[in-house]
Every structure is written in C-alpha cells, then in structure tokens.
Amino acid sequence: MSEPLQGCSTDLWLLTRPDCRALRSVQTLIEALAPLLRAALAAEQAR
C-alpha cells in the first residue's frame, strides 16, 4: 500500500456504489454532507 493521498488522510470515508453514484438522491446527500464534513475536519485539525 502507498502513503495516504494528500488531503485524503481521514478515517472517515463516504462510499457509494458505482451504479448509484449518478442518482440524484445520492448526489444531493453528498453535496449536503461535503461542506459539513470539510468544516468538521478543518476544526479538528485546527486544535
């Protein structure tokens, strides 16, 4: 295995099945969660 990719070294991953990735409901969920998760990770790293 390689080292973690820069910016991808979190223990939390949100995975989707390839056949569901294009579903509008899945896209909407990811669009809603992404900024919240980024903010939480930034706050954690700032400590």
- Which parts of the chain register pLDDT below 70? 1, 7, 9
Instruction: Using alpha carbons, select from 12, 18, 11, 19 the residue that is nearest to residue 34.
Output: 12
What is the model's pLDDT at position 41? 83
Instruction: Give the three-state DSSP class for 2.
Output: coil
Secondary structure E strands in the chain: none
pTM: 0.62
Domain borders along the chain are: 17-47
